[in-house]
Amino acid sequence: MPFREVVPQAVNSGVSPLLQLPEEIIEYIAECMRYPIYPHFEATEVFLNEGRTGFSAIRFSLSSFSQVCKAIRPTAERLLYRDIHLDIAGWTNHVHSFDTQKHLMWPAGCLRLLLRTLETRADLVRFVRTVAIRWSDWPFSFEEITAKLRFLQSCEGVYSLSFSMVPDTLLQVLESLNLSVTSFAAVSVAPDIPRIIQALPALKNLHLHIHGNSFSYSIPPHNISSMHLALMGDRRFQKPLLNLALAVARNARSLSLDSMTKKGEQEALSIPPPAMRSSVENLRLKQIDPFTMIASGRGNYFPLTTLTALRHLHLVRPSLLKMDAFSDLPPRLRLITFSDYTANSTTLSAAQSKTKFVQSVVDCLHANSGAVKLAAVKTYGAIPDDHWGIGGFDIGAFADIEPELMIFRKSFDLSRRMLC
């Protein structure tokens, strides 16, 4: 029956029109209340950087919606308990926390209250899919943390865990719980990476902000296919952290590396040959230069040539390209993209910085025209009146999208010289 006919009949019968709707429509209404919803990558970054999640904003609206009536409650509860964001210590000024600050706009839920609810409503655990926990600086014991996190063993549908920090005691608990989560995110120190991998053998996606100044670790075997590793801390530790990240990511198909250096600084991507002959197909680098030639005992080489499976290279905040940047690219590389390429200059305006960078790309393409057969060159997110016909390339501009310069390779030569 059409909705316009359902409403009058429902009103005349004294039944709310809302209760006449199919369950799918009720669920869609509840889903719309989950705004804002971020892509997984962005949501994880926001949590690790700022300690907030989308759940913090929507849980009050969804909770109110679930209390409208008993008929609606089961549908609303499925979404209310799907993605939860908790504080390990409880509410502000909790006796077990030195850190008493709460985000006024994005407050986490209280783990203590959740556990109390699950004791009386054990049926709710089947709805939980992702859990983000803001940790406390209070030195909880192994027994205390185990008691707080044991509910995760009952949540068979949980596939993603995020922690604002991973203290040693928490790692011990994770090792003992034997969870089957496939995604894990945390702020961690370098020595803990092997333990995280061993504690969560089912991992497919790993997202870490890594601190540390000691980097000689044996990485256990794993089946992680997607990694995002942000290298935090002092500039002098960036290179060893980068080498560690490359060792961790050896079997990944999708790899994202962020160098958290100062604006305008770039860390060189030094992949040791032939150890990184890996399965990486998609590589994203932020403030990391993959085009600097590396000197080794076997001669000079470009690090990208060791990534023989690479198909897409994305550079965030890149430096100006050198003339030989495209002289020796991986044979299967089909797409090179650049974004946020106006952010690295401290002296030029955004428009000047953008034009200078694009000019360096065009000059590089001209200098390596024999090696790079182009299918297209496009840019997105440019100002509508910008002139992009630089150096003879007709570069189309589209506004209101994240700035991104895209280079499509038309063909590649598998017989080209490769580093052995």
Q: What is the pLDDT of residues 150-168, one digit of tens each?
A: 888 888 889 999 998 888 8
pTM: 0.81
Q: What is the pLDDT of residues 358-409, one digit of tens each?
A: 788 888 888 877 667 776 676 655 444 444 444 444 444 433 344 577 787 7
Pairwise CA distance, residues 200 & 209, whole Å = 17
Work out the average pLDDT over 62-69.
Answer: 86
**119: pLDDT strictly greater than 80:** yes
pLDDT at 205: 94
Q: Which residues contact 397 (CB under 8 A, 6 or more apart)?
A: 379, 380, 382, 383, 384, 386, 388
pLDDT at 359: 80
pLDDT at 72: 87
Confidence of residue 101 (pLDDT cuts 50, 70, 90): low
Region label for 253, one of left (φ > 0), alpha (ψ between -120 and 50) or beta (otherwise): alpha
For 37-64, letters b (16+ CB in 10 Å) and e give eeeeeebbbbbbeebbbbbbbbbebbee
Least confident piece of the model among 169-173, 302-306, 337-341: 302-306
Pairwise CA distance, residues 26 & 235, whole Å = 52
Pairwise CA distance, residues 241 & 215, whole Å = 7
Confidence of residue 46 (pLDDT cuts 50, 70, 90): confident
Confidence of residue 93 (pLDDT cuts 50, 70, 90): very low
pLDDT at 417: 34
Helix, strand and coil in the chain, % to nearest 5: 35, 20, 45
**Between these two residues, 2 and 259, which has the higher pLDDT value?**
259
Work out the average pLDDT over 205-232.
Answer: 83
pLDDT at 153: 85
**272: pLDDT strictly greater than 70:** no
Please report, for residues 170, 181, 184, 197, 404, the alpha-carbon distance to residue 147 in angstroms, rounded to integers and kept in the order given. Answer: 12, 19, 20, 23, 47
Across the chain, what does the average pLDDT equal? 75
> Is residue 144 classed exposed, middle or buried when 0-12, 13-18 and 19+ CB atoms within 10 A define those classes?
middle
- Asked if the bond preceding 36 is cis, omega within 30° of 0, the reply is yes
How many Cα atoms occupy the beta-carbon half-sphere of 91 within 13 Å?
2
Please report, for residues 1, 148, 174, the alpha-carbon distance to residue 116 in angstroms, rounded to integers and kept in the order given. Answer: 43, 11, 22
Owner of token pair 């932020």: 286
Confidence of residue 216 (pLDDT cuts 50, 70, 90): low
